[in-house]
Amino acid sequence: MPISFASRLDQVETSAIRELFKLLGKPGIISFAGGFPDSAMFDVQGIREASEQALRQEPGAALQYGATEGYQPLREQLAQFMAQKGAPGVAPEQLIVTTGSQQALDLVGKTLIGQGDKVIVEGPTFLATIQCFRLYGADLVSAPIDGEGVQTDRLEQLIAEHRPRLVYLIPTFGNPSGATLSLERRKRVLELAVRYQTVIVEDDPYGELYFGDAPPPSLLALSAQVPGSRELLVHCGSLSKVLSPGLRVGWMIAPPELLAKATMCKQFSDAHTSTFAQATAAHYLKAGRMPATLAHVRGVYAKRAQAMGDALRERLGEAIAFVQPRGGLFIWAHLTGAGGKIADGNAFAQRAIQHGVAFVPGAPFFCAEPDRTTLRLSFATVDEHKIREGVARLALALAE
Ligand SMILES: Cc1ncc(COP(=O)(O)O)c(C=O)c1O
């Protein structure tokens, strides 16, 4: 091919998962593979009304170019949303609206990561972050997690050893792990940030999707208790998993100098997030619809998570081990190999597809030393009946 690409692309591989997704078009496949919310749960009427209000009340602003930092009424609504989420005292000026939280992560990479810089991420972590940070030259280091999120003793050793540019964490209902960092560990993470003067990036698209009790407060909320930590903390939020990913509304809260640099970089990238989407989101939040929407999606996902957990325990028994999730969209499981059953996630995924059910093997979610026994199953987009059917197919694939 006559085109020679930038050398930075050599640092990123196309994802193994994408190959698997090509097979998902097969008719009749039950897919636990996606990372999406269920489109059947979108509050179409609420979003329609919000978009109509935006066009009726401020058509000029909603359809014109806007400020790179974001549409001011939305920044105000998002600051209030953060207060409702337990992080009061975020001024609208302390956040910028981003095109999904994915763009916030890209801006973190652009502003903070240079060639060869060490960056600590959880093992496993969000695949797109691995890819994005690598594009900026990050040398990723994997910090192990358990049922309570990242192991903070190990994290401290890794920080002391590598002196990373930043530590990237998904503390609440992680993707793919579903794990939630305990309150004690959250405080420890903030203390580590201060002791080692390390930036912590808290990615939190799932925190509102809890099924029973609310999870511990975000690192952002807790930073008020750990002097000096707020100056080292970046918080990324998103409406994608709770309202609609198609709106592409996310946000980033960061110390002023970092926010200014991120805003400059965003300007070169997309000038601003769609003003129409921002005005729609602002009206939606202002109309006070979010609490009911959250209650609805939490209820539906909770039932699906339970159905999947019960079916897996019943049908796959000791061949699979997992912690029943208390929120989010995913069950993260290990194949135990019990009874001589298959223990490789990738091989099992291939076999499962033949039986008409798909999931994502866990190995690609590790930046190093992948645990090949792992898999990620999403319960979000499939109703309970189909979940049971899909798990029955998994059991058949396992028995083969
Ligand atoms: C952990 C995590 N961060 C960020 C994102 C990006 O979401 P969005 O750009 O839609 O806000 C996702 C989406 O799957 C995710 O799982």
Catalogue all structural domains in the chain, each as residue range(s) with its CATH number.
7-43+292-399 (3.90.1150.10), 45-290 (3.40.640.10)
308, 302 contact by CB (below 8 A): no
To the question of pTM greater than 0.85 for the whole model, the response is yes
pLDDT score for 138: 97
| Tokens read off for 87 | 């992080």
Ligand 1: centre distance to CA 339 (Å): 37
CA nearest ligand 1 atom 16, residue = 175
Mean pLDDT of 125-154: 96
Q: Which helix (H) or strand (E) holds 71?
A: none
Helices (H) and strands (E) in the chain, counts: 14, 14
Q: What is the sign, positive or negative, of the torsion defined by CA atoms of 293, 299, 305, 308?
A: negative
The Å distance, Cα 71 to ligand 1 centre, comes to 21
**Cis, bond preceding 176 (omega within 30 deg of 0):** yes
pLDDT in tens, 249-265: 999 999 999 999 999 99
DSSP 240-293: TTTT-GGG-EEEEE--HHHHHHHHHHHHHHHSSS-HHHHHHHHHHHHTT-HHHH
- pLDDT band for 38, please (50, 70, 90 cuts): very high
Residue type (1 letter), 31: S
Confidence of residue 400 (pLDDT cuts 50, 70, 90): confident
Higher pLDDT, 272 or 15: 272
pLDDT mean across residues, the chain: 95
**SS3 assignment, position 150:** strand
pLDDT higher than 90, residue 18: no
pLDDT surpasses 90 at 22: no
Q: How distant is the alpha carbon of residue 319 from its chain centre?
A: 28
Name the packing angle between helices 345-354 and 384-399 (round to 10°): 110
Higher confidence at residue 109 or residue 5?
Answer: 109
**Ligand 1 atom nearest to CA at 250:** 11
Q: Which residue has the tokens 């002023």?
A: 256
377: β partners: 331
Q: How far are the Cα atoms of 5, 7, 8, 176, 375 from residue 1, in angstroms, in the given order?
A: 10, 15, 18, 36, 36
Q: What phi, psi does 98 have (nearest 5°)?
A: -120, 160
Please state the atom number of ligand 1 nearest to the C-alpha of residue 248: 10
Most distant CA pair in the chain: distance in Å? 66
- Distance from the CA of 293 to the center of ligand 1, in angstroms? 19
Q: What is the CA radius of gyration of the chain?
A: 21
Cα 142 to ligand 1 centroid, rounded to whole Å = 19
The DSSP code sequence of 367-393 is SSS--TTEEEEE-SSS-HHHHHHHHHH
pLDDT of 57: 97
Q: Are strands 330-335 and 233-238 parallel, antiparallel or unpaired?
A: unpaired
pLDDT value for 385: 98
Residues having CB within 6 Å of any atom of ligand 1? 35, 100-102, 126, 170, 175, 203, 205, 238, 240, 245, 250
The tens digit of pLDDT for each residue in 352-372 reads 999 999 999 999 999 999 999
Structure tokens that stand for 13 in this block: 């591989």
Question: What is the pLDDT, as a whole number, of residue 88?
Answer: 85
pLDDT band at 158 (very low <50, low <70, confident <90, very high): very high
Q: 205 CA to middle of ligand 1, Å?
A: 6
26 pLDDT more than 80: no
Element (H, E) at 7: none
Alpha carbon 312 to its chain's center? 24
- Measured CA to CA, the distance from residue 340 to residue 337 in angstroms comes to 5
